[in-house]
Structure 1
Amino acid sequence: MAHARPKTLLLIFFVAIFLSFCNAKSSQFGIEDESWLDEEENEVDMVQTRRNSPTHCDLTTGRWIYDESYPLYDTDCPYLSTAVTCQRNGRPDSQYQKWRWAPHGCSIPRFDALKFLGKMRRKRMMLIGDSIMRNQWESLVCLVQGVIPTGSKRVTYNGPSMAFHALDFEISIEFSWAPLLVELKKASDNKRILHLDLIEENARYWRGADILVFDSAHWWTHSDKYSSWDYYMEGHSLFKNMNPMVAYQRGLTTWAKWIDLNVDPRQTRVIFRSMSPRHNREKGWKCYNQSRPLANLSHQHVPQQLLVLKGVLRQMRFPVYLQDITTMSALRRDGHPSVYRRAMGQEERQHPIDLSSDCNHWCLPGVPDTWNEMLTALL
């Protein structure tokens, strides 16, 4: 025992130095729990199933497992928009509803509506972004609403925002339309101008929320006739052309500055969901008549938007969680509405190849339910 004492003292000494180093790094980001960021790799950490998990669990790697106990809600959920109700619109198969994401080495808890409502009591949660974020909002509302009596739930509208209210729990789950996050305005000559350094007109709706979930990716790469703007503007400078990823980086930097200056990490959690993959090759028919997930990808492709997003998040003081759903969702080309984005007549069903195909959004129940299981496990 006497010989072991110097070794013990030496070990305590090194542990003290290590803990001091960790506390200093945490203080640098204004946080107390270093699990928010992976300091060793200087990377933004992926969302974990448990915030204080002692071991790292990479939720982005895993496989889709067929599970007869899914889906988690009925296809007749009244809050689903027509474009995602693939069963109502005549999709003949339903297997796409029954796949569960299983990360390697860990698991995502099954969604429990009552547990979620209990944890979210008296809180305001807002999902902000484009139509795919609306897709996710509808999924979350349908996951929750089944356990709430009819007279105790309602939906309200406020400008670009809509909110589902669980009245007995004093909870609101909101969606705010802001596909570019920054402001898109019309000039006096009706030209559409994307202001890369202005955000307050959209952000005023986000103030006071307890949980903010963002996405913004697809609209930045729209080009030519599909573009939503005619000019970029930054300060007093007007630009007709700009590299889309440069514009994306500048717009995200404006968003990041707003978060750093206006949101208190002690009161509000901020999550940024990575881009939802598209399966639009072959003019949108890549996802038609697909009934099973891919077992693996032929090559690992990291979208440029994700690289830009990670770069912006690294520069922030605010500890933003990055929820990376891109690769896991890329395996699910079977999960899109395809031609079943609207109800079809008998003749159309016999000749679906004549219809346009949606390989961007997701059928519900479906893939966004898994995104929400990941999200609520974090919360």
Structure 2
Amino acid sequence: MRETKLQLPLFLSILITLFISVVVLASEFDDLAEDNYSWLNDEDDQVNMVQSHQSSRRKCELSAGKWVYDQSYPLYDSTCPYLSTAVTCQKNGRPDSDYEKWRWKPNGCTIPRFDALKFLGKMRRKRIMLVGDSIMRNQWESLVCLVQGVVPTARKRVTYNGPSMAFHAMDFEVSIEFSWAPLLVELNKGPENERVLHLDLIEENAKYWRGVDVLVFDSAHWWTHSDKTSSWDYYMEGQSLFRNMNQMVAYQKGLTTWAKWVDLNLDPRKTRVIFRSMSPRHNRENGWRCYNQKKPLAYFSHQHVPEPLLVLQGVLRKMRFPVYLQDITTISAFRRDGHPSVYRRAMGQEEKQHLREFSSDCSHWCLPGVPDIWNEMLSVLL
């Protein structure tokens, strides 16, 4: 009994000493992690933003901030040879140009100005592919124009492969690609020429995504078209054909098919996947809400989160593969001044007298313009 009484305090003393050591080490580790913690460097924090159920310690939330007028912008002009006519608003006669001079300033940090040589150096011997609809094509043209100025004419070219096109910076062995897949899943013709959207088939599109180092996806606008502008006549899932289905239910099913393909076919050690949130439209009042707008909105009377974004977040949370959600919806919603509106094509003097007779595009973006900022954010994420 005496031996026990003598040993017990010694045993407790050892336990207490060990406990204090663990606490001190844990504290030092936390301090070290906090000192080095940066959303720019911590890959896990980047790619798991949507999938993490824990509170984030990111020092900079890219989607919270304000638009700042910056005379040093734009980073290129509308003579860039890779721009579609529909987005070269200056060449098409838009009389104002201030929409080109706004940059996005997050509350907790500054997004670095796009550096073409640095970007190409980062992407050396890699393929980056932007997959989606015409607004993703909008972003692809922006990215190509941001980098092409530092590449000698003889050392750059564009190639085509099915629904994909690629800009090659040959000295860097970099390809910047766009792959047309506005719904991600397959849209095919049926036996009687009806258009069938297969909610559970994707390989015809996905075969072009294999072997790519960085994949950037978007898909939302085509899913929300009205019955009159819908691109399909029927939905199909398995052997079942549906004439009608709630749009967001269909969208969730299509995204789930995409998510399963990514989970099963991609290796996160080899491929980086980013999903860019939906680009906002400013086309109320019959498409004239963006006409003649010359400044960003200063604030929102109420914050609205689009339903497709909520559906997307729900699908990403269930994935095993780490996907980063690049949220450009809120920041772009301020920019009703950035759309082509009626300046989608060059017009003669007489046509300019009757602008109201032309349709107004409040979905796509003038270039240079808003998608350049999306690509500055993308460069930071990579």
- TM-score > 0.5 by shorter chain: yes
Residues 1:317 and 2:329 are matched in the alignment: no
Is contact 2:67–2:296 with CA below 8 Å preserved after alignment? yes
The residue type equivalent to 1:161 in the other structure is S
Which residue of the partner structure matches residue 248 of structure 2? 245
Equivalent of 1:33 in 26, 44, 47: 44
What is residue 105 of structure 1 aligned with on the other side? 108
- Taking structure 1 as the reference length, the TM-score comes to 0.90
Q: Deviations over 1:74-110 (max 9, x none)?
A: 2100000000000000000000000010010111110
Tell me if the contact between 2:130 and 2:177 (Cα under 8 Å) persists in the aligned partners. Answer: yes
Distance 1:131 1:146 in 2: 23
Q: Could you tell me which amino acid in structure 2 is paired with residue 85 of structure 1?
A: T
CA distance in structure 1 between the partners assigned to 2:131 and 2:328 by the alignment: 16
1:17 Cα deviation from its structure 2 partner: 11
Q: 1:10: Cα distance to partner? A: 5.0
- Match of residue 344 from structure 1: 347
SS in 1 for 2:249: helix
Amino acid at match of 1:285: W
Contact 2:188 2:196 in 1 (8 A): yes
The amino acid across from 1:314 in the alignment is R
> How is 1:80-229 mapped onto 2 (pairs within 5 angstroms)?
80-229=83-232
Summarize deviations over 1:184-211 as a string: whole Å, max 9, x none. 0001100000000000000000000000
Which amino acid counterpart does residue 335 of structure 1 have in structure 2? G
Aligned residue for 1:9?
Answer: 21
Please name the residue that 2:33 is paired with.
Answer: none
Equivalent pair of 2:51/2:322 in contact (CA under 8 Å)? no
Q: Determine the structure 2 residue equivalent to 1:235.
A: 238
Post-superposition Cα deviations, 1:263-304, rounded to whole Å, max 9, x if no partner, equal 000000000000000001100100000010011111111000
User: 2:309 matched to 1:328?
Assistant: no
Cα distance in 1 between the residues matched to 2:141 and 2:305 = 27
Q: How far does residue 39 in structure 1 lie from its aligned partner after superposition?
A: 8.6
In the aligned structure 2, how far is the partner of 1:164 from the partner of 1:151? 13
- Report the counterpart of residue 51 of structure 1 in structure 2: none
Other structure's SS at 1:142 match: helix
1:300 aligns with 2:303: yes
Change (3 A) 1:34 1:277: closer
Offset at residue 41 of structure 1 (A):
6.3
Q: For residue 167 of structure 2, give the secondary structure of its aligned residue in structure 1.
A: strand
The CA distance in 1 between the partners of 2:17 and 2:141, in whole Å, is: 61
The CA deviation at 1:9 is: 2.1
Q: 1:147 and 1:252, CA in 2 relative to 1: closer, same or farther beyond 3 A?
A: same
Greater Rg over alpha carbons, structure: 2
Equivalences, count: 358
SS of 2:351 mapped into structure 1 = helix
Q: CA deviation at 1:16?
A: 10
Paired letter, 2:208:
Y
Supply the AA of the counterpart residue of 1:78.
P
Could you tell me how far 1:11 is from its partner in structure 2?
1.3
Q: Which amino acid aligns with 1:144?
A: V
Q: What residue is the counterpart of 1:21 in the other structure?
A: none
TM-score (norm 2): 0.89
| Alignment check: 8 A CA contact 1:83 1:341 kept | yes
Cα distance between partner residues in 1 of 2:354 and 2:318: 52
Task: Name the Cα RMSD after superposition.
Answer: 2.3
Distance 1:353 1:44 in 2: 49
Q: Structure 1 residues 340 and 34, CA, compared in 2 at 3 Å: closer, same or farther?
A: closer
Q: 2:352 aligns to what SS in structure 1?
A: helix
| SS at structure 1 position matched to 2:258 | helix
Describe the superposition over 1:100-130 as per-residue Cα deviations: whole angstroms up to 9, x where unpaired.
1001011111000000111111000000000
Q: SS of the residue aligned with 2:141?
A: helix
Q: Distance in 1 between matches of 2:244 and 2:185?
A: 17
| Contact 1:292 1:334 survives alignment (8 Å) | yes
Q: What's the CA shift for 1:36?
A: 3.1
CA gap 1:61/1:189 in 2 versus in 1, 3 angstroms: same
**What amino acid is aligned across from residue 192 of structure 1 in structure 2?**
R
CA contact (8 A) 1:110 1:373 kept: yes
Aligned counterpart, 1:282: 285
Using the alignment, how far apart are the partners of 2:268 and 2:333 within structure 1? Answer: 32
- 1:139-180 deviation per Cα after TM superposition (whole angstroms, max 9, x unaligned): 000000000000000000111000000011111000000000
Evaluate the alpha carbon distance shift between residue 343 and residue 32 of structure 1 in structure 2; reply closer, same or farther with a 3 A threshold: closer
The offset of 1:8, in angstroms, is: 3.9
AA partner of residue 260 (structure 1): D
Check the 8 A contact 1:44/1:321 in 2, yes or no.
Answer: no
SS of 1:282's equivalent?
helix
Structure 1 residue 15: Cα displacement:
5.8
Corresponding residue for residue 263 of structure 2: 260
Q: 1:309 to 1:88 in 2, by over 3 A?
A: same
